[in-house]
Amino acid sequence: MHELDHYIYPHRVLHWLVAGVVLLSLASGLSLGFLGYERAVSLLGNALTNVIYTSHKTLGVALLLLMTLRIITRLAFVIPDHDPPLNAFERIVSTSVHHLLYLALIVMPIIGWTATASGGFPVEFFHWHLPGLIGRHEELSEQLFMWHGRLGWIILGLVVLHVSGALFHWKIKRDNVMKRMSLFD
Ligand code: HEM
Ligand code: HEM
């Protein structure tokens, strides 16, 4: 047993930064996927459409960096004990959702990156163009974009489960789970 009742501060900051970036990536990605390039241009104009594409790619690459740091702060520092302890159901469901989120949030930007590069489009991070890492391959790009879209819905589902669990602990069970990730208390 140790006295720690919070994740270490940098890990908490990364949690909330990742949460913001994930929600913005999902909102921009799903809007682009729903409209498609042609309809986005006719509805929003060329300049705004390009800004949304560049912003979406920038958010995705930033997420890859943030998740790398987050894995380090998760593995290198002690995780607080649950006080009171979680029951077996809560422990199994929350741990599974957390691990699936980690996995999905590493795989998703890699798929986005390779789908973009193999389609012959620029991989942008702010105004920089990053190396594509793989050559042009139209069919592969189509497949990867299809998986990018599917994984987007899976991530949205995991986030809904996760946030429902957090709200349940915070507002209904009123235990200390929210405090573990809080920046303020
Ligand atoms: C939207 C994207 C979000 C993602 C991807 C995400 C991801 C995660 C992950 C992977 C963990 C496990 C702890 C770790 O290893 O870092 C965690 C913990 C936690 N999250 Fe989130 N989270 C998100 C949003 C939220 C929101 C909106 C809330 C609150 C309403 C929240 C509340 C919490 C709490 C309280 C914990 C601590 C749970 C515990 O240790 O038992 N998260 N989050
Ligand atoms: C975790 C980070 C990311 C999330 C959550 C995310 C999410 C999404 C979602 C949900 C879509 C809609 C797909 C569809 O319905 O067809 C999408 C589209 C797209 N994503 Fe991502 N994405 C991420 C990272 C990236 C990265 C790193 C890149 C490239 C560097 C990228 C490039 C694209 C492009 C170009 C589209 C538009 C595809 C189209 O026009 O159909 N994404 N993204």
Reported as a single tens digit per residue, the pLDDT across 142-160 is: 999 999 999 999 999 999 9
At residue 183, the pLDDT reads 96
Mean pLDDT of 34-52: 97
Reported as a single tens digit per residue, the pLDDT across 95-110 is: 999 999 999 999 999 9
Mutation test residue for ligand 1: of 98, 160, 178, the one with most atoms within 8 Å of CB: 98
**Where do the structural domains in the chain lie, given as residue ranges?**
9-181
Q: How much distance in Å is there from the Cα of 165 to the middle of ligand 1?
A: 9
Residues with CB under 6 A from ligand 2: 25-26, 29-30, 32-33, 36-37, 53, 56-57, 60-61, 63, 105, 108-109, 112-113, 116, 123, 145, 148-149, 152, 155
Q: At 102, which amino acid appears? A: Y
pLDDT of 3 > 90? The answer is: no
Hey, whose CA ends up nearest to atom 43 of ligand 2? 29
CA gyration radius for the chain? 19
- In this prediction, residue 1 has a pLDDT band, given cuts at 50, 70 and 90, of very low
Hey, whose CA ends up nearest to atom 35 of ligand 2? 116
Reported as a single tens digit per residue, the pLDDT across 110-125 is: 999 999 999 999 999 9
Q: Which residues of 29-67 are buried (b: 16+ CB within 10 A; e: fewer)?
A: beebeebeeeebeeeeeeeebeebbeebbbbbbbbbebb
The answer as to CATH 1.10.10 being correct for domain 9-181 is: no
